Structure 1
């Protein structure tokens, strides 16, 4: 392996408003341009958009610079993976048809250069958060999605955007690190290690860049978010590390 693999999540494009989102979009495009020369694969680990719903012939407007950059990267041979998050779980086949992206609904296990990765956005995993786990099942239900698709886009998009902007996905997704025992995704990762070994667990959703040694040669890495941290993870074929783009700017 002579190129890097990049992981990023929680861009929340569209939030909290047009002006702020456009500035963030420009920053993300600059980052993509920076990593493009040495990028073999790009994993977008969920909540790329603050809201996304695909009708049969309609998609949310905006984010054209971001989408154009991804299309150019895909056309150059870079493999792009898109994980459904709790804010953009209604992604269907638009990106796969237009750019050849692989859409991932839940977890993905991969092996690269002898290292085994467990990848997931992070929502609905681990202990607690029972109310959201119920909502997740409802929102991901094909019948519920079909019923929503019957609502005219001018109404449906407005309703969904208002809900998305008001949703904080629970108090567990933001804050400060307290302890490994209180990091529910680290708890989940340790449970998985009891039966299968993974070198790396990579999640988003938490909105806090984290690296935790799980023991037995395994690490939990959270990619953080781009509203505050501009954080991402990169695997160079030997090691996985957290990095920050335009930190302090």
Structure 2
């Protein structure tokens, strides 16, 4: 597949005082999976001696996000037929606000929470991050992305992605009543689950990041490592020419064995921390 060059790389230079940063993605937080939520809370509430200097969330923090008014009590109360998860979303926001008072949190949207907007960022105490963004940290350049844009073989999804990222589509969708948006989201999730069942929920059968596209992004940004999520296939890939791709794990504390992993980046490089759940 051809590479996908872009001229919209953002860049963030870490303060010299930062010694370690954590990177996570694909927690897919939802009220119906309390084990994962509790594992995430334990991570956020860990002692200062174990905490990184900053946290980067590379998308799909939430299983679904249909608008920042999910955090608005009035909108939630008026949402006839709503999912009943609004208290859960507010608990997520409160946990993030508490953590962001201790360390900065950066959020880059994924394919499940691309409608997370400025009001949501403010409510959670997070700073928004463009996809993709170069993190200049400890003398190296790390390219951060959710990763879905580089899955070039998933042509149906990429068409859908292009449509829902259009401002006009988002404005029209967000203008609908909250309950209606939640109903649409439930239908889309049901379709997604049906597709997963057809492949046995096996991530190895899903479209993966295109190697040449990843190499093109790294060359453009003069970074040597792409860090991304989305594919649920944690691994380290050698891309040649000193370039590599680090894939984040998804989280599912209720699985056997449970999954809850953080990528910690320091001056020595990146290492995976498996959290006790």
In structure 1, what is the Cα distance between the partners aligned to 2:148 and 2:262? 18
In structure 2, what is the Cα distance between the partners aligned to 1:185 and 1:241? 23
**TM-score using structure 2 length:** 0.76
CA displacement at 1:199 relative to structure 2: 2.8
In structure 2, what is the Cα distance between the partners aligned to 1:195 and 1:105? 16
CA displacement at 1:67 relative to structure 2: 2.3
Deviation per residue, 1:169-191 (Å, 9 max, x gap): 887x95349xxxx9524443223
CA displacement at 1:132 relative to structure 2: 1.0
Superposition CA RMSD, Å:
2.7
Aligned equivalent of 1:23? 35
Q: 1:33 aligns with which of 45, 67, 76?
A: 45
Aligned equivalent of 1:47? 60
CA displacement at 1:54 relative to structure 2: 1.6
Deviates more, 1:191-200 or 1:88-97: 191-200
In structure 1, what is the Cα distance between the partners aligned to 2:244 and 2:121? 30
1:209–1:231 contact (8 Å) kept in structure 2 = no
In structure 1, what is the Cα distance between the partners aligned to 2:122 and 2:135? 23
2:60–2:112 contact (8 Å) kept in structure 1 = yes
Structure 1: state its 5+ residue gaps.
none
1:2–1:237 contact (8 Å) kept in structure 2 = no
Deviates more, 1:122-131 or 1:209-218: 209-218
1:223–1:233 contact (8 Å) kept in structure 2 = yes
Q: Does 1:98 align with 2:123?
A: yes
In structure 2, what is the Cα distance between the partners aligned to 1:175 and 1:235? 25
Aligned equivalent of 1:192? 217
Q: 2:28 aligns with which of 12, 15, 28?
A: 12
Q: Secondary structure at the match of 1:134?
A: helix
**TM-score using structure 1 length:** 0.83
1:1-249 correspondence to structure 2 within 5 Å: 1=17, 3-14=19-30, 18-19=31-32, 21-34=33-46, 37=49, 38-54=51-67, 58=75, 61=86, 62-76=88-102, 78-167=103-192, 175-176=203-204, 183-227=208-252, 228=255, 229-246=259-276
In structure 2, what is the Cα distance between the partners aligned to 1:166 and 1:43? 29
1:120–1:204 contact (8 Å) kept in structure 2 = yes
Structure 2: state its 5+ residue gaps.
1-16, 77-84
CA displacement at 1:146 relative to structure 2: 1.4
Deviation per residue, 1:168-221 (Å, 9 max, x gap): 5887x95349xxxx9524443223344543132100001121112334433211
Change (3 A) 1:149 1:175: closer
